[in-house]
Amino acid sequence: MVPAPSADAAIDAWKQALGADAVLADDQQLATYTESVCASERQVVAVLKPSTTEQVKQLVAVANAHRIPLYPISCGKQWGMGSRLPVKDGAAIVDLAGMNRILEVNAQYHYAVVEPGVTQRQLLDHIRDNNLPLMLNVTGSSSDTSLIGNAMDRGVGYFDSRAHGISNMQVVLGNGEVVQTGFGHYENAKTKNLYHHGIGPSLDGIFPQGNFGIVTSACIDLMPKADEHLAAIIKIDSEEKLSRLIDALVSLRTRGVFTTIAHVGNRERSYITLAPLLYEQLVETGEAEGEATRAKAVAMLEEGGFGPWSAAIGILGTRAQLKLARKEIRKAVRGFARTMFLNDGLIEKATSIGSALAFIPAVKKQLMMLRAVEPVYGFTRGEATDKSLKAVYWAAGDFDRLDDPDPDHSDSGVLFCLPIIPAHGPTVLEVVRDTRETFARHGFEAAITVNLMNTKAMEGVVSLAFDRRDAAQTKAAHACIQEMESRYVEQGYPPYRVGINSMHQVVNEDDTFWRTVRDLKQALDPNNIIAPGRYNLV
């Protein structure tokens, strides 16, 4: 891309402010940022890599002076929703990955204050290395995803929504001013990381999915390490039983049997998650790489009872609480589902016995199955993993890339739909069937997870895999997602987050809500510098 004259002047000014090495502007450098697993394209004028809040202020000042919009990213791993790409052409990407300091970790009050480049892996390593009695609300994505970046788009972890656990944000607004939310703007406030709201209107809520400024630090809630941990894996052998399973889980959550998020995935989701891990083990034990071994991995899942739907729940508490939870869960699903419980002791014992008896084929299979399930088990106890990325490649048939850490630079394609659905079994089943039928009309299978977020609502995570080398398939994939999102809105289940090509599905100029958001934009970012078009009319 050839920059416009105003962009040339802005690039020179950014180099003076940040240093030449922190401003990328040639085509080869930009290509690293503009490749996307969602197969979208945007024209970008530069990539800016600040390392301090002061540098962020400087680059915002330059952007205002030259009217060049900015698109902030934390680590750029928004796979399936746009990755590093802005909503509109002509922006400079602000890559905040270099702002990766852990500013404070407080074990007593279980929180961490971090910059936007701090990842799940980095914070978990810090907790482990310092032997802190803390847990992190991990997501099922890569270990190297940003804590703040995910919270800014209201990502959902295995214990709660990430947006519920972020506060005391430091934000460089589009108008160049720096605001601290909550009590953070009171000098020496000792409760700034303890009480989210502060005094007066709460500004924390406008920055997730807002395009008013660039967050340069925030407080992230952690959890005290539980006395005991248990994971429940629940399987049903018929989709007809899904409604009953959902209602049973709602009842258990309502009664406080578990307080975490229950993840319920269909066959396609289970298979793309677990099959590559089984395949990897089969190859390690001498099986030939290729289709026959991949088919064997899928057959092992079928034999293991991973049928139409499976649920995974992490349960935290005392030994007595977990004993009661085990009893109540068995009682709730008795007669229509199979339940397996896992804890650290059981896994350690099973692994030890399985390894000793691995010469017995049946035992060897069970040991492989256990090792395949371990990453999912790890999520339920606050551990992150990179193994979930294998699902992207497996689903798209890009089997040579199973260990690649960045699907943006592969041939795999993935797109997501993320509706919020009432926590009501018959409704969930109806939405699932409509989703599957819509995908089938476009020639795709839907990998679906419905996550019970609380006693009222479920997060739908619907992914579509495609081959980016196939132009016709890529076009069909985008058409399918657009239709699916429209159907969700029409049915009364709008998505809670959308990708860069779908802002029109949720933003409407006839809606007073979005006109109010536009008015806020005018006050906080009058030159429309920050992420134009992202969850806003401007």
pLDDT tens digits for 188-215? Answer: 999 999 999 999 999 999 999 999 999 9
Token pair 């399985």 in the structure block, residue:
354
DSSP symbols for 343-385: -HHHHHHHHHHHHHTTTSHHHHHHHHHHHHHHHHHHHHTT---
* Per-residue tokens: 345: 């002791």
Q: What's the confidence (pLDDT) of residue 6? A: 77
From CA 93, how far away is CA 30, in angstroms rounded?
9
Cross-strand pairs, 417:
462
User: Is 3.30.1300.10 the CATH classification of the domain at 228-399?
Assistant: no
Q: What's the pLDDT score for residue 347?
A: 82
Q: Is 83 within 8 Å of 69 (Cβ atoms)? A: no
pTM for this prediction: 0.94
**Tokens 């049973």 -> residue:** 248
CATH annotation of 5-98: 3.30.43.10
Residues 6+ apart with CB under 8 A from 246: 264, 423, 424, 425, 428, 429, 450, 452, 458
Domain 102-224, classified CATH 3.20.20.140, yes or no: no
- Averaged pLDDT for residues 116-136: 98
Judge whether 300 and 365 are in contact, CB under 8 Å: yes
Q: What is the pLDDT of residue 483?
A: 98
pLDDT higher than threshold 80 for residue 358: no
Beta-carbon count within 10 A of 362 CB:
8
The chain-wide mean pLDDT, for the chain, equals 95
The predicted structure's pLDDT at residue 360: 73
Residues 492-511 have pLDDT tens digits of 999 999 999 999 999 999 99
Over range 326-353, report the average pLDDT.
Answer: 90
How far is residue 105's CA from residue 111's CA, in Å, rounded to a whole number? Answer: 6
Cα pseudo-dihedral 529, 531, 537, 538, rounded to 10: 20
Do the Cβ atoms of 184 and 168 come closer than 8 Å? yes
- Dihedral angle at the C-alpha atoms of 109, 113, 116, 119, nearest 10 degrees? -50
Identify the residue with better confidence: 362 or 156.
156
User: pLDDT band for position 5 (50/70/90)?
Assistant: low
Amino acid identity of 102? I
What does the alpha-carbon distance between residue 345 and residue 228 come to, in Å, rounded to a whole number?
11
- Report yes or no: 340 and 246 within 8 Å, Cβ to Cβ: no
- Strands 228-236 and 309-317 turn out to be antiparallel
The set of residues, in sequence order, having a beta carbon less than 8 Å from that of 202 and lying 6+ positions away, is 181, 182, 196
Lowest mean pLDDT among 175-179, 218-222, 404-408, 486-490: 404-408
Can you give the residue ranges of every domain in the chain?
A: 5-98, 102-224, 228-399, 411-501
Residues in the chain: 538
Q: What's the chain's Rg over C-alpha atoms?
A: 24
228-399 and 411-501 agree in CATH topology: yes
**What is the tens place of the pLDDT at every residue in 274-309?**
999 999 999 998 999 999 999 999 999 988 878 899
Mean pLDDT is lowest, of 2-6, 444-448, 517-521, for 2-6
User: What's the pLDDT at 353?
Assistant: 75
Residues 6+ apart with CB under 8 A from 366: 350, 354
Q: Could you identify the residue written with the tokens 């991973």?
A: 306
The C-alpha atoms of residue 39 and residue 473 are separated, in whole angstroms, by 11
* Residue 54 DSSP one-character state: H
Burial of 516 (0-12, 13-18, 19+ CB in 10 A): exposed
User: What pLDDT is attached to residue 1?
Assistant: 45
Q: How high is the pLDDT of residue 4?
A: 56
Query: pLDDT digit string (tens) for 27-79?
Result: 999 999 999 999 999 999 999 999 999 999 999 999 999 999 999 999 999 99
Q: What average pLDDT does this structure show over 465-469?
A: 96
SS3 of residue 450 by DSSP:
strand
217 secondary structure, DSSP code: E
CA atoms within 13 A on the CB side of 464: 30
Residue-level pLDDT at 443: 97
Using the predicted structure, report yes or no on whether residue 2 has a pLDDT greater than 50: no
Question: What is the percent of the chain where pLDDT is above 70?
Answer: 99
Q: Is residue 466's pLDDT more than 60?
A: yes
List, for residues 105-116, the tens digit of each pLDDT value: 999 999 999 999
For domain 411-501, give the CATH number: 3.40.462.10
For 209-230, give the DSSP string: T--SEEEEEEEEE-EEPPSEEE
The phi-psi region of residue 448 (left if phi > 0; otherwise alpha if psi is between -120 and 50; otherwise beta) is: beta
What is the predicted pLDDT for the residue at 481?
98
Residue 289: predicted pLDDT: 94
Q: pLDDT of 214-249, one tens digit each?
A: 999 999 999 999 999 999 999 999 999 999 999 999
Alpha-carbon dihedral angle through residues 515, 520, 525, 531, given to the nearest 10 degrees: -60
| Alpha helix (H) residue ranges in 224-290 | 242-254, 267-284
